[in-house]
Amino acid sequence: MPDFDFEDAALAEIGRDALIAGVDEVGRGPWAGPVVAAAVILRREALPDGLNDSKALSKAKREGLFETINAAANVSLGMASVEEIDEFNILQASLLAMSRAVEGLAAAPHIALVDGNRAPKLTCPVRTIIKGDAKSLSIAAASIIAKVTRDRIMAELSIEHPNYGWERNAGYGTREHQEGLKLVGVCRHHRKSFAPIRQLMTQDSSLTT
């Protein structure tokens, strides 16, 4: 279970009143849709019960925690579009989304704890933590906000493009998504720099919507 060990270490170094943001992103692997990042500054006196890595939670639990975190913490979202993913590559787009999330916080953090091993460009110090969403409560909170937000975006996009099953697969390359691509081709929300999409477009340029 995640805890406050990394936060406490930062407070011991920087000062007990320092603001610490947890930062995580969701959506590097899907073939469609934006990459979404969240930054969260938790208040320990209003810590949601059951806070954990979003991947370890049921959809219903994530949805409930999403509302609680938004009500009790300083939360900000950042995104990078499909066009930016195709222009910069998915790694750089993910870092851009994280930077935007931190920049959007109502109060600037003194340090950011970032999931993974690559640091976005921020005005505050950054500490990267591999599998941080399973280790840091602040990052776990950010993972929930980012995951629920992106899932909702993909569900909305599936209304306009119902053949891919995005409301179920969130844009990942599942069999259902692949069958939809064979049926109706590539749409404007697909990441055209990703090899499976690029290959499909090369094989049949008529399958582009």
State the average pLDDT over residues 56-82. 97
Q: What is the pLDDT of residues 99-146, one digit of tens each?
A: 999 999 999 999 999 999 999 999 999 999 999 999 999 999 999 999
Joined together, the tokens standing for residue 26 give 């969701």
Model confidence, pTM: 0.96
Distance CA(176)–CA(154), nearest Å, equals 15
DSSP SS3 for 42: coil
What's the CATH architecture for 5-159?
2-Layer Sandwich (3.30)
Joined together, the tokens standing for residue 82 give 């499909």
For the chain, the structural domain boundaries read 5-159, 163-203
